[in-house]
Structure 1
């Protein structure tokens, strides 16, 4: 018996996502990761403290990158909130995906990926209508 293997790419909700949704979510996550890297440099430069909201802004090198808002409640917490656009899907367009940071007493930072009701959020919002389009680690 001859076996035939079929290679297929895996994705996190392929059945629920069309190309534009997957591309938009992937672009947002990639841009959030770049912003996170930049913010962590500022965190380290400030002696393991997040800058005030008014003291730090993320600027992408790409003209078509998702908009990312920064918010900090103090030196131990911060959020990076991105707008999702261009999907033609009411469950995603105009909604927000974010990375939420909390520093521990030893200076390490715990990041949580989740949905946000607005760009000013500092904690995940559990926007469950978005969950089918997000990777499991961002369903918070």
Structure 2
């Protein structure tokens, strides 16, 4: 009787273990934006830039948002350069973004953030603006 119970328990454990190994995990696609930035104390203007919401950024500028106001030590142009948001970057430049301002923590300009992100179009815009 003891052998039968022991055999049954071992067989049950083997089946349960095998069944657990057969469960496949769902494939999770990587997100383009940095989730830690979006979950931080980022202001709505810079959050719209990171998310690439051009219409929202336009409206906020029309409502008087300062295109040079730092958020978490970076300007809106730095966020646009870091996340390669070309159209938003052009909009910021057209509305007076100062590209020579440096970030608080890294001491980088928007151009340096563009270089680190391999944002070649944004680097071209900065060069054409004569900001280098």
TM-score by length of 1: 0.30
Rg comparison, structure with higher value: 2
The structure showing larger relative contact order (alpha-carbon pairs under 8 Å, at least 6 residues apart) is 1
Structure in which a larger fraction of residues adopt strand:
1
Structure in which a larger fraction of residues adopt helix:
2
